[in-house]
Amino acid sequence: MTLYTANNFTVVRQIANHTDTATYYVRAVIRNAYTDTILDTLDLTDKGSQRFKKDWKVPADPSGQGFYISIITSVYEDSGYTTKSASYGDEENTYLVADRVLGGRGGTGITFGISDIRRVIKEELDKVEKPEPMDMPEMPKMPEMKWEDILSAISEVGNKIKPAEMVDLKPIHEHLSKIEEEVRNKEVTPATDLQPIISKLEEIKESMEANHSDMAQSNEETSKETNISILKGLEEILNRAKFKIAPIQMSYQGIKEIKKEEPPLDINSLAQ
């Protein structure tokens, strides 16, 4: 009988004596018939009427050529599978494990097995370009730690550290107690009456505003008087100024100015 890989196969054991009503337990051991390697161990399920069964998944065929397995079923009297029944011996059956062959139409198709699939995958993988190996930088060497020197130095530092002397805090507590007592016994200072100061500031503010208004009015009047005085002075200077126009003579050559030497202008006369 051939068992096909990746399919389920039901392992069955029927107790030969149908009149035996005792309770039994059946275990199946599956081996590679060639190497005698144990492939699996099954504890079959009691289905009643002394019939026991268990489904088992057929393993793959690595060689692709098929191999034989041996299934041995044993009957036990206890659930721990330690004591075999003296009434029933072991039964062994041998099966061929193989890949299922996929046939073509009319008996002329191409068949493929697991070994063919593996071969095709391997050939395709070999066609893939492999990356060039990279030169990995060397890992930096860890510095050597001189733990003995470090621990010795720490121990030496610890030995040189002296415990701190106890500080007498009693005088400080006494002074703090006195300060607390004086603070508690001190009379509360009454609130300062700031109303007179505020009133005085209001008076100063009003006075400054009044002075500012008077100064502005006085400056305006002074500016007007100054402008009037300047205008009057200019008017008087212009009234006292005398201007002379040189005589001119007419001829066929046009109008010629008769040049005549004039005395220099007396500046002092302008100030009279």
Which parts of the chain have pLDDT scores under 70?
Answer: 101-113, 219, 227, 239-272
What pLDDT does residue 65 have? 83
Give residues with Cβ within 8 angstroms of 28, minimum separation 6: 11, 13, 41, 42, 44, 54, 56, 71, 72, 73, 74
> Quick one: 68 exposed, middle or buried, by C-beta within 10 A (0-12, 13-18, 19+)?
middle
Round to whole Å and give the CA distance between 15 and 87: 10
pLDDT in tens, 19-56: 999 999 999 999 999 999 999 999 999 999 999 999 99
pLDDT in tens, 197-230: 888 888 888 888 877 777 777 767 777 777 677 7
Round to whole Å and give the CA distance between 71 and 41: 10
Give residues with Cβ within 8 angstroms of 77, minimum separation 6: 22, 24, 25, 83, 84, 85
> What pTM does this model have?
0.40
